[in-house]
Amino acid sequence: MALLPEKIQWWQLFTQAWKFTTLLRYHRATLQQIFDECKVGPEAQAVLTANSGYFMCPPDELSLLAYHGLFSGFNRGAYAPRKPFRHMTDRFEKFITSQHDCHIYYQSEVTRVHTSGTSVDAVVTGDGRRFTAPTILWNGDSQKMAEASAYRKPVDEEESLTAVTCCLEVQGIDLRDYGFGRHHTWHLEQWDMNRAWDEAMGGDWSRPWMLMATPSLDAQGRAIEKTWQFEVKPQAQVHDVTHTGAKDLFEGDLLRVAFQSTAKGKARFQVGDWAPIPMRESEPGYYVGEYRVKPTDSAIAKPLKVHYQLGDHKETVQAKEPVRIFGGLYRVRVESPMDGAQVDQNFHLAGHARWDLIPTARPRTQPEALNWAVFPRRWIPTATSSWTMVCRCSYRE
């Protein structure tokens, strides 16, 4: 296998296949088939397949090529990671949660799967939260998924196996007296590994096969003692905080805030140092609050926070983006002519307005014999947008 190229091109099947006739012959073979063909004794089989537990497969189901990769890796020498397994899982968690709108929800059992035809539309957890996505992956019990959805066809797929890990603390004995140290110990009570798997999967653990390790002993077999302090951080329940205030809001605009959390809680949101505004639960676990911007409101680049309470649990989460509330700052203002002034038939109407409004003008009283026309003359879209209009008045004949 070491002679195989890293990437196989289609033409190499015709030009190089003769070099790997044995590999091609056994590429679908199981480990047990090779043992039987080579007439390997049961004791040697048990020793050679002790590591098959890493694949959670008995020898009569385990791929020869897959096990070869594992076995040859062990033969190149043992190694010890510099950091614990928890470090790797923490890195995975940090990478996932650092992505946009990505979260990990612990202790959230999926109790309902909504489907349409053969497609999954959404999943609902036991605490009432509903999750939707273009693609939903399920890495669990297929039978349980069928029970949680409207899909009632029988599921007869063979489930993959799993392992049971027990962490035990012993006192009053020295494990070194029993051969334990900084190494793995495989425990067998029969030589037939396939039978050991069948008995265990059938619930018979009278003759178990297991792996035992003592990571609390160092390389010399001495006990390792460490002392550290830590604080358990409460699990966050508020997530997916969104609001419409990231874009400029003016007088009369609606600020809408929403987030997801456990159902039947109490929620409020707060802009800067404003008084908190109540939110309602529009559907189980989904909280919504609204506020109509007033002329006197001003909150430019102010933080927005949501407050959530369920029983004794209280939580405050700040939205990622601040709000931009201008209120009545950019209402239409006429600068000339002054109110009540007399103007000629042709005159200029000038003033200021917010940048996304184009003002229109009409006289408050318009005699029937008067024609009134307004023509925009200059439009400058800036933060304090100014505008000028040419207004013409003429009498009908």
In a domain, 203, yes or no: no
pLDDT value at position 219? 59
Indicate whether 320 and 349 sit together in one domain.
Answer: no
pLDDT value at position 169? 81
pLDDT value at position 255? 95
Instruction: Report the alpha-carbon distance of residue 287 to residue 258 in Å, rounded.
Output: 5
The reported pTM is 0.41
In a domain, 294, yes or no: yes
Indicate whether 322 and 243 sit together in one domain.
Answer: yes
Indicate whether 290 and 346 sit together in one domain.
Answer: no
Indicate whether 367 and 301 sit together in one domain.
Answer: no
Domain's final residue, options 91, 121, 153: 153
pLDDT value at position 80? 62
Mind listing the pLDDT tens digit for each residue in 78-91? 566 677 778 888 89
Q: How far is CA 81 from each of CA 86, 87, 88, 183, 327, rounded to the nearest angstrom? A: 11, 10, 10, 14, 58
| Six-digit token string for 340 | 């009540």
Mind listing the pLDDT tens digit for each residue in 108-138? 888 888 888 778 888 888 888 888 888 888 8
In a domain, 5, yes or no: no
Indicate whether 337 and 305 sit together in one domain.
Answer: no
Regions of the chain with pLDDT less than 70: 1-6, 10-15, 17-18, 20, 77-81, 150-160, 162, 218-226, 230, 232-234, 329-335, 345, 347-397
Indicate whether 257 and 279 sit together in one domain.
Answer: yes
pLDDT value at position 287? 95
Domain's final residue, options 30, 59, 75: 75
Indicate whether 262 and 244 sit together in one domain.
Answer: yes
Domain's final residue, options 272, 301, 327: 327
In a domain, 88, yes or no: no
pLDDT value at position 394? 44
User: What is the domain count for the chain?
Assistant: 4
Instruction: Report the alpha-carbon distance of residue 382 to residue 384 in Å, rounded.
Output: 5
Q: How far is CA 160 from each of CA 55, 139, 387, rounded to the nearest angstrom? A: 10, 11, 71
In a domain, 255, yes or no: yes
CATH code for the domain in which residue 299 is found: 2.60.40.10
In a domain, 307, yes or no: yes
Mind listing the pLDDT tens digit for each residue in 238-294? 989 999 999 888 888 899 999 999 999 999 999 999 999 999 999 999 999 999 999
Indicate whether 312 and 359 sit together in one domain.
Answer: no
pLDDT value at position 374? 43
Q: Which helix (H) or strand (E) holds 37?
A: helix 31-38
DSSP 281: E
In a domain, 362, yes or no: yes
Domain that holds residue 250: 239-327
pLDDT value at position 364? 44
In a domain, 227, yes or no: no
